[in-house]
Structure 1
Amino acid sequence: MISDLTNWQLTLPIALLAAAIGYLLGSIPFGLILTKAAGLGDVRKIGSGNIGATNVLRTGNKKLAAATLLLDALKASVAAWAVSYFFGHEAGLIAGFFAFIGHLYPVWLGFRGGKGVATYIGTLLGVAPLMMLAFAVIWLATAFITRYSSLSALLAMLVIPVTLWILGEEKVAAVLAVMSVISYVKHSANIARLLNGTESKIGAKG
């Protein structure tokens, strides 16, 4: 199984092209674009300060938050689907990964973006659709019980790579595991607030 992780069929030019396509799509800051277009100002100046759907929800506009979630997920899915169609599954996996990176570190915003939950889901939809459903179930169940969006995402991002590995999807599991670790780092402040009981719950305004 471990040997499969080093047995990639991609050529370097294709890998670089997949990474570039993924990054450019992933770096589109839909949360910021939608809130500014709606006259709600700069979403980076409220709540957690990031550009993702959870922070958009703190504006009080549920429709914009839902649209942000959908678009942030789809930019990763489209990257993975399009690149997979032309260059194969491995290239699509690379594109999905770099869409995630682009969302977290968009060059247009000084490399200060979101925390990657929606693009993580979108990558799953693009490369392992059934696992996207599993992520959604874990997230919804945890959110229903705790009302913490961050905890829901963190738990799902812990379970998904392990499940993929058990199912024999070593490459996808490895890439998703790296994404989980990066997102955990991006959620470090949320983790600290969860531990001391000061984390904002779903629906709380910023």
Structure 2
Amino acid sequence: IPFGLILAKFFAKTDIKKEGSKSIGATNVLRVVKEKNPKLAKKLAIATIILDFAKAAIPLLTLKFLHYDQALLWSVAVLAILGHCFSIYLLFEGGKGIATGAGAMIVLLPLEVLTAFIVWVVIGKIFKISSLASLAALLAFVVSSFIFNYDLEIHTHAPVFIIAFIIVYKHLPNIKRLIFKEECKVI
């Protein structure tokens, strides 16, 4: 479910798929809606983060509560992120996976998500560039997954790498803009 797109259309009467970065995530909601209504932009961006986070966290918490095995939980995590990044509702377009990924990973690797969040805040405060902060947080997450959980219960870090690959792939345009110093400051 593309929450950013729905919230921006419903409350701000704006199609974020046609403006800004054309992404459906919170950063583009903030960027596009801010031009028309700064107070509403912050509220919609926060709501987008919460809903994108919850769309992965709630199913995983439910499965964990019902004592399903780790392999299923990791599969659902990867599929939630794939579904967000390549939404069938948007002809396989979508968001970049940061909030949904955080929602999935907070259930499976909470200490690593905390580490990533701290990195995101620090990089965001220093550089004010959401994509840079997100990519740095992703790197911190992957590295800390080996430090804190060298041997995951599923005996592989493959899902961590799959999730990281999806998120990096969705950030390729941002990476290009970062290299050429054209990426916008948003945070």
With 144-153 and 179-188 compared, the bigger mean Cα shift is at 179-188
Q: Aligned equivalents of 1:149 and 1:38: distance in 2?
A: 23
Residues 1:180 and 2:153 aligned together: no
With 169-178 and 77-86 compared, the bigger mean Cα shift is at 169-178
Q: Aligned equivalents of 1:73 and 1:144: distance in 2?
A: 22
- The number of residues matched between the two structures is 176
Residue 116 of structure 2 aligns with which residue?
135
Q: Aligned equivalents of 1:197 and 1:162: distance in 2?
A: 26
Residue 64 of structure 2 aligns with which residue?
84
Residues 1:193 and 2:166 aligned together: no
Is the 2:24–2:94 contact (alpha carbons within 8 Å) kept by the matching residues of 1?
yes
Q: Over residues 29-55 of structure 1, what are the superposed CA-to-partner deviations in whole Å (9 max), with x where a residue is unaligned?
A: 110111111033211111110100000
Residues 1:121 and 2:94 aligned together: no
Equivalent of residue 51 in structure 1, options 24, 27, 30 = 24
Is the 1:73–1:119 contact (alpha carbons within 8 Å) kept by the matching residues of 2?
yes
Cα RMSD of the aligned pairs, angstroms, is 1.5
Q: Aligned equivalents of 2:132 and 2:121: distance in 1?
A: 11
Q: Over residues 116-143 of structure 1, what are the superposed CA-to-partner deviations in whole Å (9 max), with x where a residue is unaligned?
A: 1111111111211222211110100000
Equivalent of residue 112 in structure 1, options 74, 93, 107 = 93
After TM superposition, the score normalised by the length of structure 2 is 0.88
Is the 1:135–1:156 contact (alpha carbons within 8 Å) kept by the matching residues of 2?
yes
Q: Aligned equivalents of 1:29 and 1:108: distance in 2?
A: 8
Question: Displacement of 1:173 after TM fit?
Answer: 3.6
Structure of greater relative contact order (alpha carbons < 8 Å, 6+ residues apart): 1
- Regions of 4+ moved over 3 Å: 169-173
Q: Over residues 49-102 of structure 1, what are the superposed CA-to-partner deviations in whole Å (9 max), with x where a residue is unaligned?
A: 010000000111110001101110111111211122332333122111111000
After TM superposition, the score normalised by the length of structure 1 is 0.81
| Unaligned runs of at least 5 residues, structure 1 | 1-27
Is the 1:139–1:153 contact (alpha carbons within 8 Å) kept by the matching residues of 2?
yes
| Unaligned runs of at least 5 residues, structure 2 | 35-40
Is the 2:115–2:140 contact (alpha carbons within 8 Å) kept by the matching residues of 1?
no
Change (3 A) 1:166 1:106: same
Is the 2:7–2:48 contact (alpha carbons within 8 Å) kept by the matching residues of 1?
yes
With 125-134 and 142-151 compared, the bigger mean Cα shift is at 125-134
Residues 1:150 and 2:134 aligned together: no
Q: Which amino acid aligns with 2:162?
A: V
Is the 1:121–1:135 contact (alpha carbons within 8 Å) kept by the matching residues of 2?
no
Q: Aligned equivalents of 2:116 and 2:132: distance in 1?
A: 13
Residues 1:62 and 2:62 aligned together: no
